Amino acid sequence: MCRSIKTLRRADEAATTGELEAAARQYVRKISGYRIPSARNAEAFEGAIAEIAAASARLMGTLGVAVEEGPDRWTPRSAAAGGSPAGGRAGSPGRA
């Protein structure tokens, strides 16, 4: 497994739809090798993200994990504890 895949949900909290979408986007970026798809591939890229997010929501339901509507609220514990704010992902252009 690639070391750069990040945990996008804390085990003690419900997942959000934004977190599932972020995880799906991270996966599609990783397996496609592209951070941003070409205009020609954008529809396929976004379709794959939607399908993987839906599969992830089904998995969470099967595991008994609640999924709430909402944004990707994940922040690294080091940033939450006063660490570098650059560690957060929301809106970060360098996110892959």
State residue 67 phi and psi, 5-degree precision: -120, 120
Residue range 32-88, pLDDT digits in tens: 999 999 999 999 999 999 999 999 999 999 989 889 898 777 665 555 555 444 444
pLDDT of residue 1: 46
Of all residues in the chain, the percent with pLDDT exceeding 70 is: 66
Tell me the three state secondary structure of residue 51.
helix
Average pLDDT, the chain: 78
Residue range 27-45, pLDDT digits in tens: 999 999 999 999 999 999 9
User: Partners of 16 in the beta sheet?
Assistant: 68
